[in-house]
Structure 1
Amino acid sequence: MKKIAVIVAGGSGQRMGSSTPKQFLPLQGKPLLCHTMNAFLQAYHDIELVVVLPAEHLPVGKQIALGFNNKQIHCIAGGITRFHSVQKGLAFKNISNSIVFVHDGVRCLVSTGLIKRCYEQALAKGSAIPAVAATDSIRISTQGDESIVADRNKVRIVQTPQTFRGDILMQAFQHPYQENFTDEATVVEFSGQKVLLIEGEYTNLKITRPIDLLLAASILEERGGVKS
């Protein structure tokens, strides 16, 4: 079955304290986005990448894509929200008879092993949402400074690549945007489909703050600079 990865790279450098959008920040001499794209290309040689970027950053994205010398990489302009950016990514290719990965461009440490496990489960069951168990105590705010404890054994922290059969995503993203669509799983769930979790990886960090970049560099160094 065809494999398509929609890589959403619409972030800014605001929380990083940088004028450079975080997807372009350097990690071991290469932009974060480059590491992300490479992980999918290493996982499957027949995969197509649709990289969704803010329109003003398309030239930089295309320059990164050229470095791979791979005609299966496409860079397109995104929308005003993540939902609309993913929607544009899905519309760019015919995703019927495909397994589609939707991935955060700044989750640059995703392993080929996780990508392959997501593919296999989505192929067999329709969806695969990587998630890890919460390790901290969890409390839910009620009113003011009051809160109640949550059972952390039932809490899962969701990651990407959120992976689905193409027909499931096509149907789900026909619905109009809603504010509670925080990721692809919420959109698919709203459409009436079940979403199934798969074990994620604690090293599958989303680079958001400067400390995350330091952790990513340390993890890559431990891996010998090569994602497995």
Structure 2
Amino acid sequence: MIRLSALILMLATGAAAACEAVRHRDRAFTVCTADLASQSIELELLGDDGAPLGSFVALDRAVDAPIAFAMNAGMYHADRRPVGLYIQDGVQSKSIVTREGPGNFGLLPNGVFCVRGDRADVIESRTFAADPPACDQATQSGPMLVIDGALHPRFLPESPSAKVRNGVGATPDGRTVHFVISDQLVTFHEMATLYRDVLGVRNALFLDGSVSRLFHPASGRSDGGRQMGPIVVVTGR
């Protein structure tokens, strides 16, 4: 697995392979990095038949461009409709949810991952709702992992709640996006400190847990399991 010193050098020089194995706090993660100078980030949900794609096999058939990697991209209902805000190719099909509620999604603050042109940002949901940017792609999930450089106030270092989890965070300039999936059970605190302390991300968002999965063709990885809702896919421009 890649050493943290090597990862930091890789980030500092801008040289990044699509996906790298990382150990943080004695936990195994895979960090997949998208560079918006040369790559596109898009959301996918429905196939040509109007039904949710649901799997990486279906995604690979539906996307024409070579896929660098893909991940599940936010929480969804039993029919695989997004729980919160969802914008695909500039078209909004689900409105933002700003009220507190049950489960991880309602553990405020939650947030929105927004791609607009050649930059991407994670924005706290109520801040987003007060002045919505024109996102080409957007998905809402929660809770936030890192908010303006601080960990979510509800995260406890000694929490017993450990699951396979994935998330997203962008560098302050919005040009580099780090998608992280844990390769073993981890706490929110462990994932959030990876974003803050290793990746140097000031705003990061939890996408989901337990159903988290990664598609990385270069390594032959294609996680199976429960049918997915929204999927984020990174391709070359």
- The answer to whether TM tops 0.5 is no
Higher share in helix: 1
State the TM-score, normalizing by the size of structure 2: 0.26
Higher RCO (CA < 8 A, seq sep 6+): 2
- Which of 1 and 2 has greater Rg? 1
Higher share in strand: 2
State the TM-score, normalizing by the size of structure 1: 0.27
